[in-house]
């Protein structure tokens, strides 16, 4: 197929020619980029940087002298972001809580001010985890109850820590693993690869197919012959912004380099700028498998 495409391209070169044309855009001025996903209970951290037009080939600069402030949904000031290093800013002394709305406002000399708003959803707890050993895989059925009053978005992590102990040296080796999803709710509403691949370390989905009822999510992982296997199940209740950004960005990355793929617009909730300001509330449970 590659040869066919190559010859097609070659054929078109028989006549084709190319030239530079000016990029006609009234203004492709740099904009402020805000990137930060925070969890309820953890310090809020964001990275601030600048965008450039697509012809720019250098490293995209971080903003180190920007002014960034944190507000709640009623515009009450909560704290200043303080620059730490490499464009990373944090709000010292403030821990976000679940069920709140947060707004960030950023200004930097020579750039248009930007703002972004998100909310920390309420924590949703896993009600049960059932395991079933198949031939070479362990299957997990994770259940939780969805809140019917709101549209919820979830991210589910299933982190397996496999530990080997070297009998001679006593050294400990471990690694984490991805998992497979066999859940329809994921493929219908989540960040399924466009090619149908359903594996990864984090899967996102909305409650569109089970709103207000009990969700049953099934996942599988390979079984290892190890000294110890511990699986951490994390159920993140994520903001809509986080969900939309993650799904679109994931799709964007998957299709890079495919000239036949349709363009993907990566979601942003930053007004007058780019990036994502999102949040989640996490529930975590640990299972000792062996």
Where do contacts with another protein occur on this chain (CB under 8 A)? 1, 3-4, 7-8, 11-12, 15-25, 28, 31, 33, 35-37, 47, 49-57, 60, 194-196, 201-202, 245, 248-249, 251-255, 258, 260-268, 274-276
Which stretches does DSSP call E strand in 62-183? Answer: 67-72, 77-80, 82-85, 88-90, 101-107, 114-119, 126-133, 137-145, 153-165, 172-177, 179-181
**Closer residue to another protein, CB minimum distance, 93 or 259:** 259
**Closer residue to another protein, CB minimum distance, 167 or 195:** 195
To another protein, the closest distance from the beta carbon of 267 in angstroms equals 8
**Closer residue to another protein, CB minimum distance, 105 or 198:** 198
**Dist. CA 73–CA 116, nearest whole Å:** 11
To another protein, the closest distance from the beta carbon of 163 in angstroms equals 20
To another protein, the closest distance from the beta carbon of 36 in angstroms equals 8
Contact at 8 Å (CB) between 119 and 279? yes
To another protein, the closest distance from the beta carbon of 169 in angstroms equals 28
Who contacts 137 (Cβ-Cβ below 8 Å, separation ≥6)? Answer: 180, 220, 221, 222, 223
Who contacts 288 (Cβ-Cβ below 8 Å, separation ≥6)? Answer: 228, 229, 230
């Amino acid at each position: 197929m590659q040869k066919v495409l190559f010859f097609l391209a070659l054929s078109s070169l028989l006549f084709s020619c190319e030239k530079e044309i000016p990029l006609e855009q009234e203004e492709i001025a740099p904009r402020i980029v805000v990137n930060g996903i925070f969890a309820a209970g953890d310090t809020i951290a964001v990275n601030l940087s600048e965008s450039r037009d697509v012809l720019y080939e250098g490293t995209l600069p971080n903003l180190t002298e920007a002014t960034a402030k944190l507000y709640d949904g009623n515009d009450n000031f909560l704290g200043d972001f303080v620059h730490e290093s490499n464009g990373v800013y944090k709000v010292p002394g403030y821990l976000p809580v679940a069920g709140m709305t947060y707004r960030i406002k950023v200004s930097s000399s020579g750039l248009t001010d930007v703002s972004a708003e998100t909310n920390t959803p309420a924590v949703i707890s896993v009600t049960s985890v059932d395991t079933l050993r198949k031939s070479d895989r362990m299957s997990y059925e994770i259940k939780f109850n969805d809140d019917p009053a709101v549209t919820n978005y979830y991210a589910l992590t299933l982190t397996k820590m496999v530990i080997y102990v070297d009998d001679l040296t006593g050294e400990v080796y471990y690694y984490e693993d991805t998992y497979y999803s066999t859940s329809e709710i994921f493929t219908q509403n989540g960040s399924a690869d466009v090619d149908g691949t359903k594996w990864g370390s984090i899967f996102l989905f909305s409650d569109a197919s089970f709103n207000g009822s009990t969700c049953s999510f099934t996942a599988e992982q390979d079984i290892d012959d190890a000294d110890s296997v511990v699986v951490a199940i994390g159920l993140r209740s994520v903001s809509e912004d986080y969900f939309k950004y993650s799904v679109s960005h994931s799709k964007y990355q998957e299709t890079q380099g495919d000239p036949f793929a349709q363009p993907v617009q990566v979601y942003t909730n930053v007004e007058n700028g780019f990036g994502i300001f999102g949040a989640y509330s996490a529930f975590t449970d640990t299972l000792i498998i062996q």
